[in-house]
Chains A and B, each alone.
Chain A
Amino acid sequence: MSSIVCKDLCKTFQQGEEIITGLDHVSIEIDAGDFVCLSGPSGSGKTTLLNAMGGLDTPDSGRIRVGNTQVDELGKGPLADMRLHKIGFVFQAYNLIPVLTARENVEFVMQVRGEPAQERSQRSHQILKEVGLEGMEDRRPAQLSGGQQQRVAVARAIVSKPTLVLADEPTANLDSVTAGQLMDLFVELNQNHNITFVIATHDTRVMAYARRLIKMRDGKIISDEKQQQPQIED
């Protein structure tokens, strides 16, 4: 069953005098549990496509379905609800709320969802442990390294058991060792929790992890191929 179905998406931006094409009649289906990389140079439309899938951005035309939800039909509020319950986001940087500790950042989403305090603290503890941040739960973002911050962001993205995680250049600010560790974590979560991952990146290190690699340029898909995913040792 397809987890995401995009049909004929178009989006243009105005930048000064110029009109820039973000998405140019893009259609794509992504299966549940897949691990997909969107790659391409900056301006190729990968971030726009990712944002459209997450309901952060609305395309000018075309249709998007995520799970059973017809995303293009939703208003601002229901879109927010969908992101809250079904989708986890990981951004390039500034992922965390600076006044909250690692644990509070993770619990924040659960709190918005209205989950009881006991379950929150249990799950956040467990998940921070899973991403390798045991003992750092009470640090604020400023006291964590870039890699650790991204791990907190990942923990927050998966804590509410989403069916889909959207990551936009998650490794952009990380050195290659940390980047590798983060990708290992992604694959592990993909396999253990059956979460669909869609990652927009132009980092070749990241692309190597994909089971499906989609290349984009000028708002169009120029290639779409399956590839062997490296095995992760537990």
Chain B
Amino acid sequence: MNILPLKAMFMLAWRNLWRNHRRTTIMLAAITVGVWAMIFMTALMRGMVDDMLLNGIRSLPGEVQIHHPAYRDDPSINNSIAAPDEELLKALQIPQVTAWTSRVRVPAVISSERDTRGVVLLGIEPDSEVQVSFDADTIYEGRFLEDSSDRGLVIGAKMADHLETDLGKRVVVMSQDPDNNIADRGFRIVGIYKAKLASLEETYIYAGRDTVQKLLKLGDNVSEIAITSEDYRNVDNWYPRIKQAAGEGVETLPWYEVDTYLGSMLAMMDGFVLVWIIIVFLALSFGLVNTLVMAVFERVREIGLMQALGMRPSTILYQILMESLLLLLIGLLLGNILAVGTVIPLQAGIDISIVAEGMEMMGTSSMLYPALKLNDMIMANVIVIVLGLLTSILPAWRAASYDPIEALNKT
């Protein structure tokens, strides 16, 4: 085997790299900027989608939901389900489930003496609801509901503005019972909440579940059962178990099917990240190939000499590839450091409230928290190395296939 030992190849590559330090520096700068852009942009995008998903999942659906099969198409009181039976209760004990709650969720109309609005009325069981979706911290005036039979009402700050009402005042909530009789009831506002997304404040009002069940003559029935776990990405591991326990009569769905927009965003972002990394790489690859072509071109005579001394063409190929690898590795190192160094200070959040309403259309809030994911970083690094070496094969192969005599005589 006439192949140079790795150490010798490495040393030779290293010294060759710095023979033309300007070219190497410029190329390193390009790789660094490219890798930084890959990781930085990906972290921003991931942060946005994470926020979107967490907002989406937390601000109601729950990671897995159990409904009447017709409920999603027609979210009416008529499509309610019975409270969880024993089998389902047992299934909900599995360790992956961190919390679950059952709610009544119906379209309603809320009126103050000043104005009337369409809303979604949620009859909730406060203790478990807090664990699944509602952030009790977001109550900024008054209190949250105390228990299922609480007779008070909690509404959003925006809604309070619209209705020109306030804490302690009375409003009328109107909905229909299963026989389509109008059911209405006066509520005293006991709490006002602020949500990250203004549209939520305008949409959801909260009342005690028992109170709502009584108002709508629902008995023990509920509209949905919402379940959460530790990580929304892993629902597939456990939701089939719940689905089985819930039985055939109801529909048990993971979040990405409940809200296909959220589900598709996740998939789309995965694709987008890959496309972005590859585009940046391609833009880099021209410079990389150029650098290697130049490096080989300047050293034709030397390569001829090495061949005359008995280095096999394959050894020369490896030698050039080693040089490319070294260049890529240093660039990657610097790019990664730069990316981490710029993302970490931003992790407290980037204020993008200038475009808050635009971001809200997409479902994200006005603070952007970049999310540096190990997987994304690994993907970017692997893509750069693998594709980088692949594109280097061409110039390296050219170098290896020089005719030694021609190469030696090159001036």
Q: Which A residues contact B (CB, under 8 angstroms)?
A: 51, 54, 56-57, 76-77, 80-85, 87, 89, 91, 94-100, 108-109, 111-114, 156
Contact = CB atoms under 8 A, between A and B. Distances in A.
Interface residues on B, range: 20 to 34
A56 B409 CA distance: 12
Interface in B288-313: 301-302, 305-313
Contacts of B19: 98-99
Contact of B2 (A51, A56, A89, A113): A113
Contacts of B307: 56, 80
A111 B408 CA distance: 22
B352 interface: no
A76 B313 contact: yes
A84 B308 contact: no
B301 A94 contact: yes
Contacts of A111: 4-5, 8
Contact of A77 (B302, B305, B308, B313): B313
Contact of A94 (B3, B305, B314, B405): B305
A112 B305 contact: no
A51 B5 CA distance: 28
6 contacts: A56-B404, A56-B408, A82-B310, A94-B302, A111-B4, A114-B3
A9 to B, nearest CB: 15
Contacts of A85: 310
Contacts of A100: 12, 15
B402 to A, nearest CB: 11
B308 A89 contact: yes
Could you say which of A80, A85, A94, A97 has the most chain B C-beta atoms within 10 Å of its C-beta? Answer: A80
The 6 closest A-B pairs by CB, nearest first: A84-B310, A99-B15, A83-B310, A80-B312, A112-B2, A89-B308
B128 interface: no
A82 B311 CA distance: 10
A155 B1 CA distance: 23
Interface of B: 1-5, 8, 12, 15-16, 19, 301-302, 305-315, 404-405, 408
Given A76-B313, A94-B301, A54 B8 contact: no
Contacts of B8: 108, 111
B13 to A, nearest CB: 10
Contacts of A96: 305
Given A77-B313, A77-B314, A95 B4 contact: no
Given A81-B310, A112-B4, 14 more contacts: A56-B404, A76-B312, A77-B312, A81-B312, A83-B309, A83-B310, A84-B311, A94-B301, A97-B306, A99-B16, A99-B19, A112-B2, A112-B309, A112-B311
Contacts of A51: 405
Contacts of A99: 12, 15-16, 19
Contacts of A108: 8, 309
B301 A81 contact: no
Nearest to A88: B309
A78 B305 CA distance: 17
A114 B313 contact: no
Could you say which of B4, B19, B310 has the most chain A C-beta atoms within 10 Å of its C-beta? Answer: B310
Contact of A114 (B1, B12, B408): B1
B22 to A, nearest CB: 16
Contacts of A76: 312-313
A94 B1 CA distance: 26
A56 B308 contact: yes
Contact of B310 (A80, A91, A97): A80
Given A99-B16, A108-B309, A56 B302 contact: no
A63 B313 CA distance: 24
A32 to B, nearest CB: 20
B310 A109 contact: yes
B302 A98 contact: yes
Contacts of B311: 80, 84, 112
B302 A112 contact: no
B220 to A, nearest CB: 82
Given A56-B308, A56-B405, A108-B309, A80 B2 contact: yes
A114 B4 CA distance: 7
Contacts of A54: 308
Contacts of B15: 99-100
Nearest to A96: B305
A170 to B, nearest CB: 14
A210 to B, nearest CB: 23
A100 to B, nearest CB: 7
Contact of B305 (A81, A87, A97, A113): A97
A103 B362 CA distance: 66
Contacts of B404: 56
Nearest to B14: A99
B313 A89 contact: no
B238 to A, nearest CB: 56
